[in-house]
Amino acid sequence: MQTLRQELRLRQEQILQPQQILRSELIQLPLLQLELRVRTELVDNPFLEELSEEEAIVDKDVSELESDKSAAATEETEENAGETASTETPTEENHKKEQEIDWENFLTDDDQYHYRAFRPSPDELVETPRAALPSLSDHLEDQLRLQRLTELELKIGLFIIGSLNNDGYLAMSTEEIAQEIGTSNEAVEKVLETVQGFDPSGIAARNLTECLLSQLHQRETPAPNAIRVLTESFDAFINKRYEVISRKLDITLEEVKKTFEEIRKCNPKPGEGYFDEKQNYIIPDLIVNLVGDEFVVFLNDGNIPNFYINTAYKDMFLKGESDKKVKEFVTRKLESARWFINAIHQRRTTILRTMRAIVARQAAFFHRGREYLKPMILQDIAEDIGMDISTISRVTSRKYVQTDWGVFELKYFFSERMESTSGEDVSTKVIKGRLKEIIDSEDKSDPLSDQAIAIMLAGEGYPIARRTVQKYREQLRIPVKRLRREI
């Protein structure tokens, strides 16, 4: 027989406050997404207003000082909020908030919270001009509309173009396309043949063989042996079994070599290179410049609007407006505006502190280049700046920094370490770089085995096993010895 009973249990649980959630969300946003988020907030919150360029002119040091102050205030607020959350229910907190509001001081001139973005000078951010590139779909549709097609054929052609993946291959079968449109497979095949004759050569193929053959057939100079290799010995071709191809097609090894050279002129990914400008361009979130004898870190947030909290509603409340719903709405939006600006400042401060700590640990890299990258893990930076490792992980995710040696994702600076024979800690990225150099300079007629590479690296002071060489080679997407062999 079941009985009913009451139990009293104590338990601890961590409840994130809205400010903490907002801060975590903004910290992990890359630059372009942050800009979109700020502009969305400016539209949604009537208390946030964009500053004009003239109003926003401010000294960079002052702006950073304001950022640090606001960030400190955010941390203090979150600590207090966390204490409150552990002792009060949301209902009690809202009631207390309503009772404690001092409407005379709630919207004073002292509450002019603002955010001013840093706009680097041309010397600080070097931009490479790029030509505007059409999308692959636009390029193909322009060619399609020049053909003499029926309305149905045009519809099929547009559907085919819309079904191409980023590499330019047809991602659906002709049967599926015919079923979607409600036509015959023969009609789709006919239009597909037309599209496959478009530029770039090899487009809309269904597999690699069809892609390469399409390009070979469109060449002015015939390549009969290359076509035979792809149609009669494709497996031997992709596995570089030169002798097998020579015997099967009854051609010399020299002719096999020339045939491979002909096929290498084809593009296995004809869709590459046709991107929108935004997809083909990385805007660094940070800039590291050598100023005098020191490296200085700048946050490249120049496209973020300058904005502030507009207290235009102040007079309405000071004149005796008492509608409870209006007050609740204004309170909610004003607090949201404060939290948002504090979170933006906290993001700036945290990212700058993280990057400065990276620069301090990787000073040799910033002075001398990639081969001087030192081993470093997220925990190192977390300890240096006194933050949680999860925060460092969010800060370094999808963020890029411009250096004298190129633009790098922040994750690039983190790597495992191993001890060299001299007892020095070495970054695994340095070892991978050396491994790639060894393979690039090997005799391609007789490539090195993983064991041979391991022996060479050990001789240079990097004692790693053959399996480790294999793992690093695969991470670098370098094929095995047999597939690196050339005639």
Provide the 10 A C-beta neighbour count for residue 130: 9
Does some domain include residue 384? no
* Nearest Cα residue to 363 out of 295, 463, 270, 444: 295
Residues 168 and 253 in one domain: yes
Residues 243 and 324 in one domain: no
- In which domain, by residue range, is 88 found? 18-125+298-350
Which residues, other chains included, contact 113 with Cβ-Cβ below 8 Å and sequence gap of 6+? Answer: 70, 308, 309, 337, 338, 341, 342
Does some domain include residue 315? yes
Does some domain include residue 229? yes
Residues 145 and 41 in one domain: no
Provide the 10 A C-beta neighbour count for residue 285: 23
Which residues, other chains included, contact 180 with Cβ-Cβ below 8 Å and sequence gap of 6+? Answer: 159, 172
Residues 252 and 180 in one domain: yes
Residues 74 and 176 in one domain: no
Out of 329, 350, 371, pick the residue that ends a domain.
Answer: 350
CATH number at residue 247: 1.10.10.1330
Residues 155 and 121 in one domain: no
Does some domain include residue 207? yes
CA 167, CA 170: separation in Å to the nearest integer? Answer: 9
CA 272, CA 281: separation in Å to the nearest integer? Answer: 14
Number of domains forming the structure of the chain: 2
Let me know if 279 is exposed, middle or buried by CB neighbors in 10 A (0-12, 13-18, 19+). Answer: exposed
Out of 330, 350, 370, pick the residue that ends a domain.
Answer: 350
Does some domain include residue 405? no
Does some domain include residue 208? yes
How confident is the prediction along the chain (487 residues), in pLDDT tens digits per residue? 566 766 676 665 555 577 778 888 888 888 888 888 888 988 888 888 887 665 555 444 444 444 444 444 444 444 443 333 333 333 444 444 444 445 455 555 444 567 776 655 545 444 444 444 567 888 899 999 999 999 999 999 999 999 999 889 999 999 999 999 999 999 999 999 999 999 999 999 999 999 999 999 988 888 899 999 999 999 999 888 999 999 999 999 999 999 998 998 899 999 876 654 444 467 889 999 998 889 999 988 877 888 888 766 655 554 555 677 777 777 788 888 888 888 888 999 999 999 999 999 999 999 988 888 888 889 999 999 999 998 899 899 889 999 988 889 898 898 876 766 766 667 788 888 889 899 999 998 889 999 999 999 988 888 888 898 888 888 888 988 888 888 7
CA 340 → CA 39, 55, 66, 309, distances in Å? Answer: 12, 20, 15, 10
Residues 121 and 159 in one domain: no
Residues 223 and 259 in one domain: yes
The helix (run of H) or strand (run of E) holding residue 269 is none
Does some domain include residue 76? yes
Residues 171 and 107 in one domain: no
Does some domain include residue 225? yes
Residues 161 and 119 in one domain: no
